[in-house]
């Protein structure tokens, strides 16, 4: 199922379960991600800053899959000059957040679609990275492991409640699942592993965030996989913990594939 492409305007919003850009001009008093924007960005705003801000729009779905990228509108929305925005788009293309779409002799940049093929690459990758973090976490002193396990149990219990009651009750599946994995990654990662994880995770997050609410019927399976992760952590079993994390991400990819088959790929045509 394809989603019609749209011209990016200065103000965007997120609509569940599918994000779309909203036409309209940005006002100085408007906010992005809850942060007020006042006036233009300082001269010389870095490409890195532009990259982070545009990537956030993409990951949060405020620039929906398949949306046309209009450089001038992005500059107006971000209150930046063309130089950092253009440099950021190059980096985003290199990392797969935006792609070049050719139509005859013309070429346009669009937000990368969400496809099963892409997810099938991303989920195993992040599973392996978290598996390495898990191995390290399994080697922590017992007191640290038990303290981490307690935090993980609290988060997983909240997910279990959602799964049992089939009701959000103000809680968010994505945020809780993300917190569970983040706790483990922070505890078991050194600087290099954290950097690698931070480079890959936002790409997987696009799928994770957009489809999380669609798997509530199978959420109990993920909760059970989390319980195995916690048990392996408490035991300090590195191999078992690594396998449990691989399985959680691998099975998550299979659950995601079912949702994509049901609702269609986003931004593909």
Q: What is the DSSP string of 38-95?
A: -SPPPTT--HHHHHHHHHHHHHTTSS-TT-B--HHHHHHHHT--HHHHHHHHHHHHHT
Question: Measured between alpha carbons, how far apart are the two ends of the chain, in Å?
Answer: 7
pLDDT score at 170:
53
Distance between CA 215 and CA 157 in Å, rounded?
Answer: 17
Q: Quick check: 42 pLDDT over 80?
A: no
Distance between CA 168 and CA 194 in Å, rounded?
Answer: 30
User: Hey, what are 56's tokens?
Assistant: 């956030």
User: Hey, what are 116's tokens?
Assistant: 């099963």
Find the range with the poorest average confidence among 8-17, 189-198, 229-238, 260-269: 8-17
pLDDT tens, 70-93? 999 999 999 999 999 999 999 999
pLDDT tens, 110-138? 999 999 999 999 999 999 999 999 999 99
Distance between CA 101 and CA 257 in Å, rounded?
Answer: 24
More confident residue, 29 or 105: 105
pLDDT score at 77:
92
Q: Quick check: 211 pLDDT over 90?
A: no
pLDDT tens, 133-184? 999 999 999 999 999 999 999 999 999 999 988 776 556 888 999 999 999 9
Model-level pTM?
A: 0.76
Residues 112, 193 contacting (CB under 8 angstroms): no
CATH of region 116-263, choose from 3.40.50.720, 3.30.365.10, 3.50.50.60, 1.20.120.530:
1.20.120.530
Distance between CA 239 and CA 241 in Å, rounded?
Answer: 6
Q: Quick check: 218 pLDDT over 60?
A: yes
pLDDT score at 7:
43
Helix (H, G, I), strand (E, B) or coil at 9: coil
pLDDT score at 208:
86
Distance between CA 51 and CA 56 in Å, rounded?
Answer: 8
pLDDT score at 28:
36
User: Hey, what are 228's tokens?
Assistant: 């195995």
The CA-atom distances, in angstroms, between 186 and each of 135, 137, 189, 199, 201 are 12, 9, 6, 14, 13
Which residues, 6 or more positions from 231, have their beta carbon under 8 angstroms from its beta carbon? none
- Tell the CATH topology of 12-111: Arc Repressor Mutant, subunit A (1.10.10)
Distance between CA 221 and CA 238 in Å, rounded?
Answer: 22
Q: Quick check: 225 pLDDT over 90?
A: yes
- Identify the band that residue 268 occupies on the pLDDT scale cut at 50, 70 and 90: low
Structural domain boundaries in the chain: 12-111, 116-263
Helix (H, G, I), strand (E, B) or coil at 13: strand
Tell me the sheet residues that pair with 35: 32
pLDDT score at 88:
94
């Amino acid at each position: 199922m394809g989603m019609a492409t749209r011209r990016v305007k200065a103000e965007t919003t997120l609509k569940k379960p599918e994000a779309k850009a909203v036409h309209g001009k940005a006002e100085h008093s408007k906010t992005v991600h809850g942060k007020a924007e006042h006036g233009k960005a300082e001269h010389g705003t870095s490409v890195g800053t532009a990259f982070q801000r545009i990537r956030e729009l993409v990951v949060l779905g405020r620039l929906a899959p398949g949306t046309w990228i209009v450089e001038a509108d992005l500059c107006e929305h971000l209150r930046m000059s063309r130089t950092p925005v253009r440099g950021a788009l190059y980096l985003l293309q290199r990392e797969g957040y935006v792609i070049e779409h050719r139509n005859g002799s013309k070429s346009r940049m669009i937000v990368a679609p969400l496809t099963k093929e892409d997810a099938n690459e991303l989920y195993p990758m992040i599973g392996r990275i978290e598996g390495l973090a898990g191995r390290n976490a399994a080697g922590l002193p017992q007191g640290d492991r038990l303290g981490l396990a307690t935090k993980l149990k609290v988060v997983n219990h909240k997910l279990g409640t959602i799964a049992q009651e089939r009701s959000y009750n103000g809680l968010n599946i994505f945020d809780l699942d993300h917190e569970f994995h983040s706790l483990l990654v922070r505890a078991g990662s050194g600087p290099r592993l954290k950097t690698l994880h931070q480079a890959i995770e936002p790409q997987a997050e696009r799928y994770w965030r957009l489809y999380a609410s669609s798997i509530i019927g199978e959420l109990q399976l993920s909760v059970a996989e989390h319980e195995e992760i916690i048990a392996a952590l408490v035991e300090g079993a590195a191999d078992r913990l690594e396998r449990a994390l691989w399985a959680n991400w691998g099975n998550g990819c299979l659950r995601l594939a079912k949702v994509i088959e049901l609702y269609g790929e986003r931004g593909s045509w």
